Structure 1
Amino acid sequence: MATLRMAAVAAPFGRDLEEDFARISTLMSEARAAGVRLLALPEACLGGYLTSLDGPEDLPPALRCDGPEIRRLAALAREMVVVAGYCELDGSGVRYNSAVCVTGDGVLANYRKVHQPLREDASYRAGDRFAAFDSPVGRLGLQICYDKAFPEAARALALDGAEIVVSVSAWPLSATDPHPDPAQDRWTRRFDLFDRARALENQIVWLAANQSGTFGSLRFAAGAKIVDPGGEVLATTGVTAGTAVADLDVAAAVESARRAMGYLRDLRPETYGAAAAPSPAAA
């Protein structure tokens, strides 16, 4: 039995990188003291998210994946596997909304967000692939925020062998019809439903990190959590800032979930052709 202690964070992050690194350092120190080996930090925790989804303004600092900030993040991670979101600048000057997975040895994987809500595409270019990768804590997959609304994204990672998917977000509460109780907000409910459904339908472990507090015109839902392969929430921060921590033998949990009802095993891909592209009506 190889039990893995995992943690997912809900916390606020802004434009000041030194303040962000100070918060990250504290979160990592607390996680390390608790014996955490896999830590998920929110989307855009290095430099903050967009201040609104109406268009490009007050953009976050753009960082290179091979630059000093990501090397600093890796040095802080040391023996832990850490996933963190940032605004990536590629060699041609294009920005991506990205998540990086690091240990003290360096970068294990870098993912560029594929699905973009509202006007996010005015600030970032979209990524174009989902791929799982091996890490010291098992085979992982990465997603960012709106990606979780697309079952195909998580399915692609599960079919590529990911047993754990880390989904980092800056998921807001409803802007058009907010509920006075954040726990009852419709966007909080959707966030939680997506997390549980993606874990259950792929029979994988799901770590969801999220921003908390407010930034610009956005108020975030928090809701960091760890979900097991049966869709059960093992730990959550609820609608407040904090760190959700859980212990699980991932391989055993995945094997047990798939033993009788194997959703990946029982797929019938030859029947799904029409599902691969939107209909004209949907478009």
Structure 2
Amino acid sequence: MTTVETPVETPGTPAGGVSPRRGPQTVRLGIGQLRIDVDDPAGTWHAVEQTAARAAAEGVELLVLPELAACGYVFADHAEALARSEDLDGPTVAAYRELSRRHGLVLAAGFAERGEAGRVHNSALLVEDGELRAVYRKAHLWDAEKLYFTPGSAPAPVVDTRVGRLGLMICYDLEFPEFVRDVALRGAEVLLAPSNWPTEHSPGPGLVAETIKSQANAACNRIWMVVADRTGVERGQHWVGGSMVCDPLGAIVTEPVLGREGWLVADLDLARARDKTVTSRNHAFGDRRPELYGGILSP
């Protein structure tokens, strides 16, 4: 199945990035921090199914799962990544859609997407009540991903759903402030980021660099930031297990579950992400000076 990477957006969003949508004020979000294993796809998928069932049982409306949650991450080579990849009409996307339909969920999760001419994309999908709303191909590839995947060539999507206006990107994309700002300016109230954060180095005792960057992104753009990380050891690679929710001021509102399987729930007040007021005289977007920022677009 051939897909065209086109961001899914609601027409008429003002240039200032404030959506005209006035949907639910509070949305219950769930994050499944799973132990994913490329060598145990059946066990991995069982964990996905259990997490979706738990979400429904606890009244969760929006569920986010990690990057490449359906297939694992540490591939031996491009050939293995290709063998694990699937078309959009394949069984994995169908299974995600069925979980969303059965449990009444808006669901974001990762999978390996088979592209044209033997290409493989590190992709994430957004499904609403069984309907595939968006597919995003990771634009910024981390380390060995460049050996297996072809980067996406479209901006991150922003989608109006019954649980809010959602942006979708993947892991390393968050380290490019321009990419996140673009989504925020297009009116995203919540940014969903399925992730696989490898344990490598820390900026200091008890600190995780990726966490700090996510908090900054949330605060600078006055949006909810949702990271669904994974845990465990996969072919010798350890993972941070840093799933979290940041509020529009950058505060982490979920308990840390570093280094272990976990289940996080948070109630998101979407009105907070629609209000870009910083002080009585300052506005997060209104105070921008785009005419001074042209240099960041230079190669």
Normalization by structure 1: what TM-score? 0.88
Counterpart pick for 1:204 among 220, 223, 242: 223
Query: Which whole-Å CA distance do the structure 2 matches of 1:63 and 1:45 have between them?
Result: 13
Give the match's secondary structure for 1:147: helix
Partner secondary structure for residue 254 of structure 2: strand
Aligned counterparts of 1:116 and 1:91: Cα–Cα separation in 2: 18
- Give the Cα separation in 2 of the matches to 1:184 and 1:111: 35
SS at match of 1:46: coil
Residue 54 (structure 2) aligns with? 30
Deviations 1:91-119 (A, max 9, x none): 44310000011133321110000111223
Q: CA deviation at 1:57?
A: 7.0
1:151 matched residue in structure 2: 177
Deviation sequence 1:41-65 (CA, Å, 0-9, x none): 000101101257xx64743610112
- Give the one of 269, 275, 283 matched to 2:296: 275
- Cα displacement (A) at 1:13: 1.2
Query: 1:259: Cα distance to partner?
Result: 5.8
Quick one: distance in 1 between partners of 2:202 and 2:283?
A: 39
In structure 1, the gaps of 5 or more residues are: 279-283
Shift of 1:192: 0.7
Decide whether the 8 Å contact of 2:71 with 2:84 is kept in 1: yes
1:192 aligns with 2:218: no
Give CA deviations for 1:123-174 in whole Å, capped at 9, x if unaligned: 0000122231112211111111111111011111111111110011111111
Instruction: State yes or no: 1:264 paired with 2:272.
Output: no
For 1:42, what is the secondary structure of its paired residue? coil
One-letter code of the match for 2:131?
G
- Corresponding residue for residue 281 of structure 1: none
Aligned residue pairs, count: 268
- Code of the aligned partner of 1:99: A
Alpha-carbon spacing, 1:3–1:92, altered in 2? closer, same or farther (3 Å): same
Consecutive aligned runs of 4 or more in structure 1 exceeding 4 Å deviation: 55-58
Matches within 5 A, 1:114-129: 114-129=139-154
Candidates 156, 159, 175, aligned match of 1:133:
159
Structure-2 separation of matches of 1:56 and 1:184: 36
Q: 2:269 aligns with which of 249, 256, 278?
A: 249
Separation of aligned partners in 2, 1:67 and 1:77:
16
**What do you get for the CA RMSD once the two structures are aligned?**
2.1
Distance of aligned partners of 1:10 and 1:105 in 2 relative to their CA distance in 1, 3 Å threshold: closer
Cα contact 1:203–1:230 (8 A) shared by 2? yes
Secondary structure of 1:253's aligned partner: helix
1:237 to 237, 256, 261: 256
Which residue in 2 is equivalent to 1:20?
44
Task: Normalising by structure 2, report the TM-score.
Answer: 0.83
Q: Measure the CA separation in 2 of the matches of 1:274 and 1:233.
A: 32
Cα pair 1:223 1:236 within 8 Å, conserved: no
Which residue, out of 87, 93, 103, partners 1:70?
A: 93
* 1:89 matches 2:114: yes
Contact 1:199 1:228 in 2 (8 A): yes
**8 Å Cα contact 1:50-1:58 kept in structure 2:** no
Asked if 1 retains the 8 angstrom alpha-carbon contact of 2:202 and 2:208, the reply is no
